[in-house]
Amino acid sequence: MADFFAKLKEYEVQVEQYKLMVDQYQKGRVAYETARAELQVAVAPAEGVIRNFYNGVGFMYVNKEDTAAYFGKVFYTWSVQGLIIAILFAAILFLQKRKDVI
């Protein structure tokens, strides 16, 4: 019978140790969740800014290692810029001619 009570005491000690470990885990988990929430509050606005920036001007970036895509992008942007310059040049000539007539 004494052996039973000795094992029971040993089991109670193990249970108390387990309870302490569970309490430490729960405290750590609460601290982790609090830190995670604070991190999300701090990081979310920055992620929103980056997301808006990338969605707004992300089309301008191209991988320079991919030469076909890079030169295609350069040719496309220069073509568009040339078209804009031609339109503005024609508008200036038209408006100057119109001013001279009036």
> Which pLDDT tens digit goes with each residue over 43-89?
888 888 888 877 767 667 788 888 898 899 899 999 999 999 999 99
Judgement on whether residues 42 and 66 belong to the same structural domain of the protein: no
Average pLDDT, the chain: 89
3-state SS assignment for residue 10: helix
Q: Which residues contact 69 (CB under 8 A, 6 or more apart)?
A: 62, 63
> What domain range includes position 99?
62-102
pTM: 0.44
Same domain, 7 and 21: yes
Same-domain check for residues 67 and 54: no
Judgement on whether residues 18 and 46 belong to the same structural domain of the protein: yes
Domain count, the chain: 2
Q: Give the pLDDT confidence score for residue 2 in this predicted structure.
A: 81
